[in-house]
């Protein structure tokens, strides 16, 4: 269980990314965090992963994150976000995956277990052919798959994906949908997305944020019955469709 | 199958790194022997041998320190165009050394302490300003540029004042091994020790920092702490070298690039030691060129100046080649 109480994250200059947020994120369901740009989705995940300092309380398996050593948190949580790599100082994909195992690998140089693990993940994410390429050379879609693989590399209990489906094509989104279900069997998956169709399709539990505050938490059925909240937050009309046994929601863009 | 291939490939790269370190070490030892014994008029002339040995050892240690410091700085700041000079450490140390000479006269015990104080003062200013404007990679470089400009100006001014009493002070501005002597051994040893001791602590975290601050944190490394450690160890070590031989700017910039080019990797576990060896070899070769060849025609030109003359075109060629080959 991820338990959050009175969480406030204040950035330099006094801007509050998150303000007085109190929520519980279940561990037996896939949690999707949605909200418009600047709502505080990334900030919430960063606070859970101890990447930004905060006021309030964040509990991971009973451990309060701010008073838990970064090393310990790093073994429990992966936070996957964008990478900006310098062309002349860019690791190869294989090196980046091995570096991503540092919290769990032993010794100064990697062992056979690290390579086995990294390859299995590369195969799962279909990036074996990219292993020798440099990160700075990859397309944004390829890079996104590598970032996801890097999050998986240390085999954490909590997988926090910031914009999980950013830059990837619909084929990869379909692949991610299957993988989310697979990961959720023995891991806690929390992801943010700007694609509400992708989010509603793959999430079981939803947190809707707006300007740093929580405006909705609940399961899919609750969310679908209160589409007006999403429409109000995004300022866009939302249509609901039924396809086979799937409930789909689609934003309507009109000129 | 592919897993073992990937592992083999990666291991072969590490093995290549180890082989390169071994080969360059052997080359360096041969070069040291050759540099000391080249056209020795009388092999029993211990005075000449001792002078040459001191000078060769000074160039090697300075190259080693500046090469390692450059690799650490470029890695921790994720900026391939910085060295200790950019952060203002070199000019801060030089300013303090010149100030100490002006006040107390030249003293072997005061100059290194003044250099560390000046280097750390400049460094603290750079870090304070950089952290105040966000603590990002770019903040460090911008803050360093401003601090460097300040201390460079002050150093040039003090050089004119000091040079009236101590003519050798002019060498400090460009960097020279002409006055190399065994009296600098302790300072050189401390300088090299600081960097060699920090290597096992910094090598892996610096690899994580290359992925960005957020990624480094979620891998358990606080980037600010490791960036600070890398900058401080490189700053103190290069300040000590400045207190002995003046500012030698280009080695710290070019050695990490040559190392990454040789190993085709940016892994700091290999790049840092390789960069130290490359720096040592480059600086020794340059000093040999100055001492053995150039001095016959134009006299003793400071090694620091020749390093830049030869290093800059080489560095630019290297950059162009790397870009044309797809940055490898």
Rounded CA separation A112/B103 (Å): 60
Sign of CA pseudo-dihedral A150, A105, B273, B203: positive
Inter-chain touch A90–B79, beta carbons under 8 Å = no
Rounded CA separation A17/B107 (Å): 55
In chain A, the percentage of residues whose pLDDT exceeds 90 is 69
Pick B210's closest partner by Cβ from A51, A91, A150: A91
* CB-CB neighbors (< 8 A) of B7 in chain A: 112, 115
Q: Check if the beta carbon of residue A177 is closer than 8 Å to that of residue A200.
A: no
| Strand order across the beta sheet in which A31-34 lies | A77-80, A158-161, A188-192, A31-34, A205-210, A213-219
**B162-165 long-range contacts, CB within 8 A, separation 24+:** B162/B98, B162/B101, B162/B102, B165/B101, B165/B105
Rounded CA separation A154/A175 (Å): 21
β partners of residue A242? A247
Mean pLDDT rounded to a whole number for chain A: 91
Confidence at residue B44, expressed as pLDDT on a 0 to 100 scale: 65
Rounded CA separation B184/B54 (Å): 9
The pLDDT tens digits of the residues spanning A85-107 come to 777 888 999 999 999 999 999 88
The pLDDT tens digits of the residues spanning B283-323 come to 999 998 888 887 778 777 888 888 878 777 766 776 676 56
Rg (CA), chain A: 18
Judged by CB atoms within 8 Å, which residues 284-323 of B form the interface with A?
Answer: 322
Taking the Cβ of residue A148 and every Cβ of chain B, the question of whether any pair is shorter than 8 Å is answered with no
Check whether A249 has a pLDDT greater than 70: yes
Identify the residue with better confidence: B15 or B328.
B15
Confidence at residue A160, expressed as pLDDT on a 0 to 100 scale: 96
The pLDDT tens digits of the residues spanning B257-286 come to 999 988 889 999 999 999 999 999 999 999
Confidence at residue B47, expressed as pLDDT on a 0 to 100 scale: 79
* CB-CB neighbors (< 8 A) of A149 in chain B: none
Check whether B9 has a pLDDT greater than 70: no
In chain B, the percentage of residues whose pLDDT exceeds 90 is 40
β partners of residue A79? A160
Inter-chain touch B220–A95, beta carbons under 8 Å = no
Mean pLDDT rounded to a whole number for chain B: 85
Interface test with A, best of B207, B208, B211, B260 (most A CBs within 10 A): B211
Q: What pLDDT band is residue B136 in, cutting at 50, 70 and 90?
A: low
Closest CA to B244 of B304, B202, B197, B296: B304
The pLDDT tens digits of the residues spanning A166-215 come to 888 999 899 999 999 999 999 999 999 999 999 999 999 999 999 999 99
Half-sphere exposure of B217 (CA within 13 A, CB side): 15
Inter-chain touch A94–B9, beta carbons under 8 Å = yes
Check whether B115 has a pLDDT greater than 90: yes
Least confident of B164-168, B169-173, B314-318: B314-318
Q: What pLDDT band is residue B137 in, cutting at 50, 70 and 90?
A: low
Confidence at residue B327, expressed as pLDDT on a 0 to 100 scale: 45
Check whether B34 has a pLDDT greater than 70: yes
Taking the Cβ of residue A105 and every Cβ of chain B, the question of whether any pair is shorter than 8 Å is answered with no
Angle (CA) B268 B271 B274, round 5°: 145
Domains of chain B from N-terminus onward: 80-324 (1.10.3470.10)
Confidence at residue B173, expressed as pLDDT on a 0 to 100 scale: 84
Rounded CA separation B133/A228 (Å): 41
Taking the Cβ of residue A66 and every Cβ of chain B, the question of whether any pair is shorter than 8 Å is answered with no
Mean pLDDT, residues A147-167 = 93
On the 0-12 / 13-18 / 19+ scale of CB atoms within 10 A, B51 is middle
Least confident of A46-50, A213-217, B80-84: B80-84
Q: How many CB pairs (< 8 A) connect A and B?
A: 118
Question: What's the Cα-to-Cα distance from B32 to each of A68, B175, B230, B231, B277, rounded to whole Å?
Answer: 51, 20, 29, 30, 13
Rounded CA separation B309/B289 (Å): 12
Confidence at residue B322, expressed as pLDDT on a 0 to 100 scale: 58
Inter-chain touch A73–B220, beta carbons under 8 Å = yes
Pick B218's closest partner by Cβ from A51, A115, A122: A51
Confidence at residue B328, expressed as pLDDT on a 0 to 100 scale: 44
* CB-CB neighbors (< 8 A) of B328 in chain A: 134
Write the DSSP assignment of A197-237 as a string of letters. HHHHHH-SEEEEEETTEEEEEEEHHHHHHTHHHHHHHHTSE
The pLDDT tens digits of the residues spanning A130-152 come to 998 999 889 888 999 999 999 99
The phi, psi pair for A218, rounded to 5°, reads 165, 180
* CB-CB neighbors (< 8 A) of A85 in chain B: 210-212
Least confident of A135-139, B82-86, B151-155, B314-318: B314-318
Mean pLDDT, residues B191-204 = 95
Identify the residue with better confidence: A246 or B66.
B66
Q: What is the ipTM of this complex?
A: 0.91
Taking the Cβ of residue A136 and every Cβ of chain B, the question of whether any pair is shorter than 8 Å is answered with yes
In chain B, the percentage of residues whose pLDDT exceeds 70 is 90
Taking the Cβ of residue B9 and every Cβ of chain A, the question of whether any pair is shorter than 8 Å is answered with yes
Mean pLDDT, residues B141-167 = 88
Question: How close is the nearest chain B Cα to the Cα of A88, in Å?
Answer: 6
* CB-CB neighbors (< 8 A) of B204 in chain A: 99, 102, 108
Mean pLDDT, residues A219-229 = 91
Inter-chain touch A131–B6, beta carbons under 8 Å = yes
Taking the Cβ of residue A110 and every Cβ of chain B, the question of whether any pair is shorter than 8 Å is answered with yes
Rounded CA separation B46/B145 (Å): 45
Confidence at residue B293, expressed as pLDDT on a 0 to 100 scale: 81
Check whether B127 has a pLDDT greater than 90: no
């Amino acid at each position: 269980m991820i338990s959050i109480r009175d969480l406030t994250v204040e950035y330099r200059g006094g801007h509050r990314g998150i303000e007085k947020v109190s929520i519980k994120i279940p561990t037996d369901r896939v949690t999707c965090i949605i909200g418009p740009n600047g709502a505080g989705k990334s900030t919430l995940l960063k606070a859970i992963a101890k990447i930004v300092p905060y006021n309030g309380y964040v509990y991971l398996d009973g451990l309060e994150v701010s008073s838990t050593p970064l090393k310990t948190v790093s073994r429990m949580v992966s936070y996957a976000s964008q990478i900006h790599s310098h062309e002349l100082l860019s690791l190869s994909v294989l090196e980046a995956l091995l570096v991503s195992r540092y919290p769990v690998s032993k010794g100064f140089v990697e062992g056979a277990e690290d390579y086995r693990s990294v390859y299995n993940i590369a195969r799962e994410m279909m990036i074996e052919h990219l292993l020798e390429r440099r990160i700075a050379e990859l397309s944004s879609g390829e890079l996104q798959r590598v970032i996801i693989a890097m999050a998986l590399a240390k085999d954490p209990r909590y997988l926090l994906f910031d914009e999980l489906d950013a830059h990837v094509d619909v084929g990869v989104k379909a692949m991610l949908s299957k993988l989310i279900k697979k990961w959720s069997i023995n891991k806690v998956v929390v992801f943010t997305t700007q694609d509400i169709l992708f989010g509603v399709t793959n999430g079981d539990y939803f947190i809707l944020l707006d300007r740093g505050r929580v405006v909705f938490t609940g399961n899919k059925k609750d969310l679908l019955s209160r589409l007006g909240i999403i429409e109000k937050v995004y300022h866009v009309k939302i249509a609901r469709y039924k396809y086979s046994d799937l409930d789909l929601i689609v934003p309507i863009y009109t000129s | 199958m592919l897993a073992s291939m990937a592992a083999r490939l990666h291991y072969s790269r590490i093995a290549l790194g180890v082989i390169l370190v071994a080969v360059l070490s052997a080359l360096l030892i041969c070069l040291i022997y050759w540099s000391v014994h080249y056209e020795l008029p009388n092999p029993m002339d211990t005075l000449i041998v001792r002078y040459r040995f001191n000078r060769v050892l000074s160039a090697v240690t300075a190259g080693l320190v500046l090469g390692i410091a450059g690799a650490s700085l470029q890695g921790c700041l994720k900026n391939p165009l910085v060295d200790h000079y950019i952060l203002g450490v070199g000019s801060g140390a030089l300013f303090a050394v010149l100030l100490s000479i002006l006040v107390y006269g030249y003293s072997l015990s005061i100059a290194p302490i003044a250099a560390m104080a000046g280097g750390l003062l400049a460094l603290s200013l750079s870090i304070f300003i950089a952290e105040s404007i966000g603590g990002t990679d770019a903040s460090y470089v911008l803050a360093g540029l401003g601090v460097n400009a300040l201390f460079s100006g002050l150093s040039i001014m003090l050089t004119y004042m000091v040079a009236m009493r101590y003519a050798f002070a002019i060498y400090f501005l460009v960097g020279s091994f002409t006055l190399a002597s065994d009296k600098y051994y302790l300072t050189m040893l401390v300088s090299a020790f600081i960097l060699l001791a920090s290597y096992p602590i910094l090598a892996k975290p610096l690899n994580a920092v290359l992925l960005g601050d957020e990624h480094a944190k979620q891998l358990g490394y606080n980037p600010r702490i490791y960036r600070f450690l890398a900058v401080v160890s490189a700053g103190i070590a290069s300040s000590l070298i400045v207190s002995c031989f003046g500012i030698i700017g280009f080695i710290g910039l070019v050695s990490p690039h040559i190392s990454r080019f040789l190993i085709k990797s940016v892994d700091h576990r290999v790049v840092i030691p390789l960069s130290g060896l490359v720096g040592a070899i480059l600086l020794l070769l340059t000093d040999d060129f100055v001492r053995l060849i150039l001095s016959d025609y134009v006299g003793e030109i400071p090694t620091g100046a020749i390093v830049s003359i030869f290093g800059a075109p080489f560095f630019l060629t290297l950059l162009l080649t790397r870009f044309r080959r797809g940055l490898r």
